Amino acid sequence: MASQANIQELEKIASQVRRDIVRMVHAVNSGHPGGSLGCTDFFVALYFHILKHNIEFDMDAKKEDLFFLSNGHISPVWYSVLARSGYFEVSELSTFRKINSRLQGHPTTEEHLPGIRIASGSLGQGLSAALGAAQTKKLNNEDNLVYVLMGDGELQEGQIWEAAMYGAHHKVDNIIATVDYNGQQIDGPISEVMDLKDLKAKWQAFGWEVIESNGNNMSEIIKSLEHAKSLTGKGKPVLNLMKTEMGYGVDFMQGTHKWHGVAPNDDELANALSQLEETLGDY
């Protein structure tokens, strides 16, 4: 359980990560701030409290928990959290999406950025990779967990449901898959673009243990992830249906798909930064 002091510490980190995100996408006038901001609290809770991981990066990650990002376009939040965790220098965030950078538009392994274990960006592939890695953990007799984050729009990809079937059939119960359930995708609200209907019922019908959570409240995120952990090892994969608000933390970006893949201009950046306390020093 996290103490109140812990929570405040994590919230401070989250504020800095949000600053990093808007500054990174502003600097290159491209990238995906909306989903990054919405998932910031989750990433901070995961990397600074939940995950058993080693910042001395090793691809095989034996005796470590693993995290996979399936919706690779929210790379800014991941890069910021990896840098702030110590995987690489915070100053490297300034290279995001620039030529010769290790911080590609979507996460990749080719540039050997510490913390990244598989490329993602083309959607729908991360759950399969995470399930495979989880089965390797079992074959290697490791009791560590595998975490994966997916977008909700991404659940329109058929491969996700192939993987969902597989995870339950093979009783991959050392995985916690989280859905960033913000209800938005590029072309508009999911309910209008391609309605996912009752996601909880869908995952349950596929044989997963489903919990629902709030992804924009630090103490609730930690509680729900601890709860999810307590459900592992019981013969079923665990799905965390996490409600978030796209753009959370910057009022004019909040709750709309319009900031899915659009960078703020100079004035908008200033406005956004005025809402986010600089707690750890900008890169």
Smallest distance from another protein to CB 211, Å: 23
Interface pattern 74-113 for another protein (x via CB under 8 A)? ----------------------------------xxx---
- Contacts (CB under 8 A) with another protein, residues 124-163: 124-137, 139-140, 142, 158-159, 162-163
Is 216 an interacting residue with respect to another protein (CB under 8 A)? no
Angstrom distances, CA of residue 217 to CA of 8, 73, 214: 11, 23, 6
- Contacts (CB under 8 A) with another protein, residues 158-187: 158-159, 162-163, 165-166, 169-170
* Calpha distance 56→75 (Å, rounded): 20
Bridge partners for 212 per DSSP: 241
Cβ proximity to another protein: between 17 and 131 the closer is 131
Angstrom distances, CA of residue 147 to CA of 40, 69, 75, 238: 16, 9, 16, 10
Nearest to 11 by CA among 252, 274, 3: 3
Is 270 an interacting residue with respect to another protein (CB under 8 A)? no
Smallest distance from another protein to CB 7, Å: 32
Strand runs (DSSP E) across 59-161, as ranges? 66-69, 146-151
* Calculated CA dihedral for residues 7, 222, 76, 232, nearest 10 degrees: 160
Chain positions contacting another protein, by CB under 8 A: 59-62, 66, 68, 108-110, 117-122, 124-137, 139-140, 142, 158-159, 162-163, 165-166, 169-170
